[in-house]
């Protein structure tokens, strides 16, 4: 991140004034500053930043507009500061924003994916607003940026092997243990659906298994869909449908970002992260429509569509996670287009039958401006997954309630966990936001972290 947030006083730092819509007159700037704002048509528009000149042609300060946003979203809209502040030292004028979210927004707003091209360098330091926790701001921003980096990296450099390498790097940083079951060893260790989905790829399928924390601490398990590219398999997608399929490992990227936050915060949990990492490719040994696969749990699954592969690899991973009877089991996946039709790209649905968890997660999303929306595990729709020759089909035939039926499919593989929640994320910003460019995005992990901190902080 090109911006440094510091809790040390910055002598001579220029001031950032947070301005709501039509609130310029109330800003504590001098008369020339007000005139400059008027001349530039600045009236506190959301996401707009206006740099204020001094009498010598230098920089006196800046005004950041929040428009009509209120609550946490008002502070998150300050993210554009991260992209537009000139080099130098800066400090926030007091009042009118959440100090933690303001600092966080500036950090993630400065994000640029620079792996393949050079970005203009700036040297910016921002003094931490009073009331914010530097360690928390830093670990949340690092978790978000990790997820973004992983999603933005194309499959040529982020296939199953490279995703494993990223998980190993994270494990090494936090002294976590990590193991991998790869290739035909998946069959020997009873992960047949992960193997079936990934076997057609030149990069072997694998199950990544990371553990961290005291063995006697409460068990929290994260499962992330790691489909590094999805052609659709033999039920091949059209070219337009493949353009963003590098992001089909967005669930894995998000759980790694969340795991990064959990370990950095040293929560009192026994953390386990399971990532089935595969590429749904096409070759002579690709799995076929009409095949029947036997899952780790023993349930047989008829393949109605090879493009509904994410739920297959998740099912084997969830079955493994469930055997350990965790107190909380969370899975995240870029699973269905139906979720986007229902709620769009910015609002991930979640599914759980734990009422207390549902209430806590919904509230957390509002509190930290990381929105989620509960959708129902409507049991009668489970019949749509019936098969004439197997225990269930991986798709329905009528096309209705696709996000709900996908969640119901996954629920069939969870029975021992005390609490389970499934999140169907998009993992991508299709349009620029004040705190985020177009590209890979972390979704719901700050809301989840807020819930976990409330339960497991030491």
Distance CA 8, CA 129 (A): 10
Q: What is residue 28's DSSP assignment? A: S
Instruction: State residue 306 phi and psi, 5-degree precision.
Output: -75, -10
User: Is 74 considered catalytic here?
Assistant: no
Quick one: how far is CA 414 from the chain centroid?
23
Distances (CA, A) of 192 to 5, 98, 172, 390: 47, 48, 29, 16
Q: What is the dihedral of CA 378, 384, 385, 390, to 10 degrees?
A: 140
Would residue 188 show up in a list of annotated catalytic residues for this protein? Answer: no
Q: Which of 311, 384, 412, 446 is the catalytic position?
A: 311
Dump strand ranges (E) for 44-160: 49-53, 59-67, 88-92, 124-127
Query: What's the N-to-C CA distance of the chain in angstroms?
Result: 29
Which residues have C-beta within 8 Å of that of residue 3, sequence separation ≥ 6?
82, 85, 106, 107, 110, 122, 124, 125, 126
Sign of CA dihedral 269, 270, 271, 274: negative
Structure tokens, 210: 């990371």
Q: Which of the residues 112, 122, 125, 237 is marked catalytic?
A: 237
Instruction: Tell me the C-alpha distance between 256 and 271, whole Å.
Output: 11
Catalytic site residues? 237, 311
């Amino acid at each position: 991140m090109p911006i440094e947030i510091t809790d040390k006083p910055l002598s001579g730092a220029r001031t950032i004034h947070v301005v709501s819509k039509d609130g310029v007159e109330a800003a504590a700037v001098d008369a020339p500053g007000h005139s400059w704002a008027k001349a530039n048509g600045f009236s506190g528009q959301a996401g707009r930043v206006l740099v204020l000149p001094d009498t010598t042609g230098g920089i006196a300060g800046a005004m950041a507009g929040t428009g009509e946003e209120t609550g946490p979203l008002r502070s998150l809209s300050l993210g554009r500061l991260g992209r537009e502040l000139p080099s130098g030292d800066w400090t926030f004028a007091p009042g009118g924003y959440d100090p933690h979210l303001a600092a966080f927004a500036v950090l993630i707003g400065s994000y640029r994916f620079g792996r393949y091209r050079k970005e203009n360098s700036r040297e910016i330091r921002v003094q931490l607003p009073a009331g914010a926790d530097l360690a928390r701001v830093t670990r949340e921003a690092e978790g978000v940026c990790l997820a973004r980096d992983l999603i933005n990296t194309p499959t040529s450099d982020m296939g199953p092997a490279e995703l494993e390498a990223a998980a190993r790097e994270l494990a090494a940083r936090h002294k976590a243990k990590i193991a991998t079951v790869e290739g035909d060893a998946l069959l020997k260790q009873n992960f047949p659906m992960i193997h079936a989905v990934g076997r057609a790829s030149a990069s072997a399928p694998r199950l990544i298994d990371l553990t961290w924390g005291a063995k006697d601490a409460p068990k929290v398990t994260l499962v992330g869909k790691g489909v590094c590219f999805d052609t659709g398999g033999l039920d091949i997608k059209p070219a337009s449908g493949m353009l963003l399929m590098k992001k089909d490992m967005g669930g894995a990227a998000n759980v790694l970002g969340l795991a990064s936050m959990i370990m950095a915060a040293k929560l009192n949990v026994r953390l386990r992260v399971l990532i089935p990492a595969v590429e749904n490719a096409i070759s002579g040994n690709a799995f076929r429509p009409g095949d029947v696969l036997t899952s780790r749990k023993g349930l047989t699954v008829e393949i109605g569509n090879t493009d509904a592969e994410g739920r297959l690899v998740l099912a084997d991973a969830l079955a493994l996670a469930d055997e350990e009877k965790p107190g909380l089991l969370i899975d995240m996946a870029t699973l269905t287009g139906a979720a986007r039709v229902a709620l769009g790209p910015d609002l991930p649905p979640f599914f759980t039958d734990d009422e207390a968890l549902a209430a806590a997660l919904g509230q957390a999303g509002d509190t930290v401006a990381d929105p989620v929306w509960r959708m129902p595990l409507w049991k009668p729709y489970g019949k749509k997954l019936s098969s004439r020759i197997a225990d269930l089909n991986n798709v329905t035939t009528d096309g209705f309630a696709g996000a709900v039926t996908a969640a119901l499919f996954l629920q069939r593989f969870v029975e021992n966990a005390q609490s389970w929640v499934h999140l169907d994320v998009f993992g991508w910003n299709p349009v620029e936001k004040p705190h985020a460019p177009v590209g890979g995005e972390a979704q719901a992990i700050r809301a989840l972290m807020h819930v976990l901190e409330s339960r497991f902080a030491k």
